[in-house]
Structure formats: structure tokens, C-alpha cells
Amino acid sequence: MGEERKLNQNHAPIYEALENFRKMRVVPFDVPGHKHGRGNPELTEFLGKQCVSIDVNSMKPLDNLCHPVSVIKEAELLCADAFGAYHAFLMVGGTTSSVQSMVLSVCKRGDKIILPRNVHRSVINALVLCGAIPVYVNPEVDTKLGISLGMKREQVAKAIEENPDAVAVLVNNPTYYGICSDMKAIVAMAHKAGMYCLADEAHGTHFYFGENMPISAMKAGADMASVSMHKSGGSLTQSSLLLMGKNVNAGHVRQIINLTQTTSGSYLLMSSLDISRRNLVLRGRKVFAKVVNMAEYAREEINAIGGYYAFGKELINGNSVFDFDPTKLSVHTRDIGLAGIEVYDILRDEYDIQIEFGDIGNILAYLSIGDRRQELERLVSALAEIRRRYQKDSSGLLSQEYIDPEVVTSPQEAFYAKKHSVPLRESVGCICSEFVMCYPPGIPILAPGERITPEILDYIEYAKLKGCSMTGPEDPDILNLNVLV
């Protein structure tokens, strides 16, 4: 936290300013055009007058997200203080925007950045935009679970030694499945080599507020961290934070953010960040202890069913699984003869239970501040019944979640190169010019600049067959792929 300051974390400056504005009954001759909801009665009825009346434009009393000087600036100072950062930016373009601003702040065309290949597509999108060159640290794979693990210390050290001209190291803290790398050691290695250390903490908001959690990026000394407040922090979807360490020029980062972020920042999103930060500071420790207890209870009950494996801290090995996020309820389903995506679909269609995602071998039920024990009991009961009704022989099910890519050219060069469309099976050996991924989790199976192999095509076709939501390519049916000419 930059300078010593005593800030009142009971304060929510944006929320308070909006409440004052509502009481003023100002006559609006500015945007948005719905004019406090009067011009769009169906929208007002759907969202509520309370909501649409504060969907307002930037103005002096409410500050401006592009160049904050009053209430937004104060909210940023409170966020930095709450998260142990030297500066914080309120982000209204989702953590995608936070991640891209983070990468674009330290990378330019031709720069190398060291990162795990199992990153969210937003990271590789940033490389498409700026022209940086990825140096992938291919993660180990847990062959039983079929999931990629964290970055091993020796892999990171080797990548740094072989690429001393790299400008940054990026770490997932944690992965979607709750796997954490040795954040503190990786920060130290990066800084010793004169590199920045960046953290994608889309799934790690609670690390800053819960007890006995894996170390947060800011506490580990990272230079920047993208924190998805709307995931485990309780704010509205698309609201996020970008946190700064002491060695980063916050003014430069603001300029980078303003290259792509809207000039019409949503006060619904910003006030949700403001209120959620206050909530986490005041109640986070108690609330997240409850979340961990619920997750531990669910793991125990699901493992008692038989056939499923709800994995947890027993995976910790001190390196590629340096730590584990105890709130993550990840369940391996392959041993009951069902892909994770099949269990995901059954839970939704037959039990009215919506979980976060299902992939080839696993499901993830996302637990956070709004969950209750009775819903967890319903999930456990449904999983027991699904096993009884649908269990079958697991032979023939694909187990591999992660395939090492062969990177031939940079994401930017491949994305903007001359290309043509070819049938999926005729693309073997070609260089892909687009993304292919299951969403969620949004980790590319193929990214621009990577060689297409039979193994990758087998995975794509299998994922389609099982019902995964496939996104990325120009062809929505993924019968064809764009490849370099």
C-alpha cells in the first residue's frame, strides 16, 4: 500500500455519491437516453426503477473512470488498501480487460513473455494485440484426473535462463480447478532476472480475505494482478480489479487501460465493486471460512458416494501443486463412465442445478459467498442419483485434458496472416490462425500460430460429440478451420 494512510473501509464513495444523486432529482439532458428509465418502461419493469435510475453518465459529482479525481479515485484507494496493493483500477470490461491491460502495460511487439499454456484466451488475445512472443511453460498433467497442474519452479527457472530477454512471467493464481504454483518463488525468480511478475487471479479474490488460503499475488510481491471480483467476490458480472505492486508506473497503466476500456463506465458495475469491496473487508474472513467448510463437507459426502473423486489438498506436492484453493469443488466423473460435460448437462436438464462447467473428465461447482448448505446437499443427492441411474463402463472415454502445443509463429502474425478455410481433418500439419476452445473454462485447445495435430483434432471432435460448448473459430459448427496459406 503506497503511502501510510488510514482509510475508512466502512466507506463506499461511489455508492454514497449515487445515493446523493438519486435524492437530488436532477433533470437529465444527457445520456443514457432512457432518462432514468422513463423512456423504456419494459426495461424499468424488468430491472427495477432503483437500478435504472443510477444507470447514469459521468459528471462532476460522480467523477470519470478515465481520469478519476474524486469519488472513483477514493474508491480505488480503498480497493488498494483492502487488497494490500499500491494502486487499484476499477475495471468494467471484465477480467478479460484487466488481463489484457496488464499484459499490454509491460509487453510490446517482439517482447517475450513466459507463461503457462493453460491460460485464459484473454492472455493470448493480448499477445495478438501487442505482438509479444509467448514462451510457454507446459504444465505437468495429472494423468488420473486429466487436468493440467501449476508451473514447476525448475521449469520457470529454465525458461528464464533460456530467455533472459523476456520482459515478464505470468502465473495463474489459481487455475480454474484450484491448483496454485509457488507464487512467492516465481516472483523472486522473475525479479532477480529483471522481469515483471503478473498474476491472473480471476479465481482468487478470496485469497485476499479468507484465512488459511493460498498466498495472494500482492502478498507474494507480484507486480500486477487481475482480480475477478464478480466471481468469488460478489460484485456484478463484468466488474473486475487490476492491482498494482510498488514497481509499476500506475499512470502508464491508466493510459493503457484507456486505449481499450469504454469511456462510458457503468456506474452499476463500479458501485457493485465499491459495495463488494466493503462487504469483503467487513465480513470476508467469516464468510469464506463458511465457504471452505461447505466445500470440505461436500467433498467428503461426494467421495462417500463412490465412483466420483472430489479432489482437494491431498494433491499438494510442494511444486506443480504448491497449494490448493479449498473453496473449489472440482469432481472427477470419468470413473462412473460419464464425461464431466455429460454430468453437467444432466444436472441442469433433470435436476435444475446449474454448475460452473463440465469438461472431458471433471465438473466444477463454484462455491462462494452466496451459497447455502441446503443447496449443496441437493447437489450431493443429485450426483448420487446420477451415478445410480447413469453409471456405465468408463473404457473408451478420453482422459487427456491438456495437449502440449507446437508453436510455429507468434499469435499476432498467425491471426493477421493470409489464411484459407479447410475441412477439419484436412488441416493436419497446418498452422492454425484462430482459436478453438471449450467455454467455460476458455483455455484454448488451439491458439493462432500453433500446428494442428491428429491428437488435437481427436480432442476437438470428442469434445463436440460429448456436448462441450465450443467457441473461437469463424465456422460456428467447427467443421472447418482457418489455417495459414
Which grid cell is 73?
479515485
Q: Same domain for 183 and 329? A: no
The pLDDT value recorded for residue 440 is 76
| Co-location of 48 and 100 in the same domain | no
Residue 29 neighbours by CB under 8 Å, 6+ apart: none
For residue 174, being part of any structural domain is answered with yes
Residues 6+ apart with CB under 8 A from 232: 203, 204, 205, 206, 327, 366, 368, 369
pLDDT digits (tens, 9 = 90+) for 280-313: 999 999 999 999 999 999 999 999 999 999 999 9
User: In the prediction, which pLDDT does 5 show?
Assistant: 52
Residue 423 lies in a domain: yes
For residues 102 and 86, give the distance between their C-alpha atoms in angstroms, rounded to a whole number: 15
- Domain containing 340 equals 284-390
Strands (E), 205-346: 224-227, 240-244, 309-310, 323-324, 328-332
Residue 319 CB neighbour total at 10 angstroms: 17
Q: Is residue 343 part of a domain?
A: yes
Whether 146 and 272 share a structural domain: yes
Clarify whether residues 146 and 174 are in a common domain: yes
Q: What are phi and psi of 254, to 5 degrees?
A: -60, -40
Strand order in the sheet with 357-358: 309-310, 328-332, 362-366, 357-358
Residues 385 and 458 in one domain: no
Q: Are residues 303 and 215 in the same domain?
A: no
Q: Which of 254, 281, 308 is the last residue of a domain?
A: 281
**Unique residue bearing C-alpha cell 505482438:** 131
Are residues 107 and 195 both part of a single domain?
A: yes
- Contact at 8 Å (CB) between 301 and 132? no
- Judgement on whether residues 222 and 119 belong to the same structural domain of the protein: yes
Q: 13 in helix, strand or coil? A: helix
Sequence-distant (6+) residues with CB within 8 A of 324 are 174, 178, 179, 180, 214, 312, 313, 315, 316
Q: Is residue 2 part of a domain?
A: no
Phi, psi angle pair for 146, to nearest 5°? 75, 25
Task: Report the alpha-carbon distance of residue 109 to residue 411 in Å, rounded.
Answer: 11
Residue at 310 is within a domain: yes
Question: Residues in the chain with pLDDT < 50?
Answer: 1-4
How many structural domains does the chain have?
4
Looking at residue 293, which CATH number applies to its domain? 3.90.1150.10
Residues 118 and 253 in one domain: yes
For residue 155, how many other CB atoms are within 10 A of its CB?
20
Does residue 191 lie in a domain region? Answer: yes
Beta-bridge partners for 401: none
Cell of 26: 436532477
- Domain C-terminal end among 263, 281, 299: 281
End position of a domain, from candidates 390, 423, 447: 390
Please list, in sequence order, all residues whose beta carbon lies within 8 angstroms of the beta carbon of residue 111, skipping any fewer than 6 positions away. Answer: 130, 132, 133, 166, 167
Amino acid 146: pLDDT: 87
10 CB-contact burial (10 Å; exposed 0-12 / middle 13-18 / buried 19+): exposed
Phi, psi of 37 (to 5 degrees): 95, -10
Both 161 and 238 in one domain: the answer is yes
Grid cell for residue 107: 509487453
DSSP assignment of 297-321 equals HHHHHHHHHSS-EE--GGG--SSTT
Per-residue pLDDT at 283 = 96
Question: 406 lies in a domain?
Answer: no
Q: Are residues 130 and 56 in the same domain?
A: no
Handedness of CA 253, 258, 263, 269 (dihedral sign): negative
The number of beta carbons lying within 10 Å of the beta carbon of residue 244 is: 23
Same domain, 361 and 372: yes
- Looking up residue 252, the CATH number of its domain turns out to be 3.40.640.10
The pLDDT value given to residue 399: 74
Q: What is the pTM of this model?
A: 0.94
Please check whether residue 222 lies inside any domain of the structure: yes
- Residue 178 and residue 231: Cα distance in Å, rounded? 13
Residue 464 carries which side chain, given as an amino acid letter?
A: K
